[in-house]
């Protein structure tokens, strides 16, 4: 499932992150690539150990914790520390699938990459190209969101970033391990949660049917979650 997360970051947070990362030293983006991705990847990236990347990454992690939509959609168990990349001058990332296991450099921290996330950090009209194309059952979907917005999508999907022919595309990207590994089960829980939230507005939190449906949600989560 593809879930947009609007306004994950405020304009002030985007500006602060850009101040940090724009002044940092960027390197070849293949420092985190697997063998397949290295053949297709043409961009720049901040090293994982970069102080700017770590401070900016903490801001994004804080924002994730404040987002009920993200929590409901992802049901996160572990989140890989956010990384940062940029594309310019025709750079692109060809079709690839993210590695199943991501290990943080210099540590034993690892996540199973159930979901991938991109947080856009540049206004879409400031650069040409740079669309994130994610292939699914109904073909490729093109994603190019305002700065501060994010997209959540299965790490198992084929995806690519089209060439940036004008300006610079700046974004954060990372992976997370969900408490619910199966994408279809996670989607069912998300749809049920959204329906419960909508009905709660109409009927009130204490309505008997809301209580019953909430019980169904948690019993399904109990059945499917690996926490």
Q: Summarize the annotated binding site as residue ranges.
A: 96, 98, 159, 169
Q: Residue positions in the annotated binding site for Fe cation?
A: 96, 98, 159
Measured from the Cβ of residue 147, the count of other Cβ atoms closer than 10 Å reads 20
As annotated, the binding site for 2-oxoglutarate includes: 169
Helix (H) / strand (E) element for 95: namely strand 92-96
Tell me if 86 sits within 8 A of 44, measured CB to CB.
Answer: yes
SS3 content of the chain, % helix, strand, coil (to 5): 35, 30, 30
Tell me how far apart the alpha carbons of residues 18 and 13 are, in angstroms, rounded to a whole number: 9
* HSE-up of residue 164 (Cα within 13 Å, Cβ side): 27
């Amino acid at each position: 499932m593809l879930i947009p997360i609007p306004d994950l970051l405020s304009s002030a947070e985007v500006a602060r992150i850009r101040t940090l990362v724009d002044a940092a030293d960027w390197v070849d983006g293949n420092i985190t690539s697997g063998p397949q991705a290295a053949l297709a990847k043409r961009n720049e990236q901040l090293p994982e150990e970069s102080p700017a990347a770590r401070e900016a990454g903490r801001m994004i992690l804080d924002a994730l914790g404040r987002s009920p939509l993200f929590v409901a959609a992802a049901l996160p168990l572990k989140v890989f520390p956010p990384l940062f990349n940029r594309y310019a001058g025709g750079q692109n990332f060809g079709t690839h699938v993210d590695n199943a296991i991501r290990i943080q450099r210099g540590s034993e921290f690892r996540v199973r990459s159930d979901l991938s996330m991109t947080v856009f950090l540049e206004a879409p009209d400031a650069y040409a190209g740079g669309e994130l194309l994610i292939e699914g059952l109904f073909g490729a979907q093109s994603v190019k969101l305002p700065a501060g917005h994010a997209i959540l999508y299965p790490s198992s999907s084929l995806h690519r970033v089209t060439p940036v022919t004008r300006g610079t595309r700046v974004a954060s990207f990372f992976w997370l391990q969900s408490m619910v590994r199966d994408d279809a089960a996670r989607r069912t829980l998300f749809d049920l949660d959204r329906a419960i939230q909508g009905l709660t507005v109409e009927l009130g939190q204490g309505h008997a049917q809301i209580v019953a449906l909430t019980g169904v949600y948690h019993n399904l989560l109990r059945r499917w979650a690996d926490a």
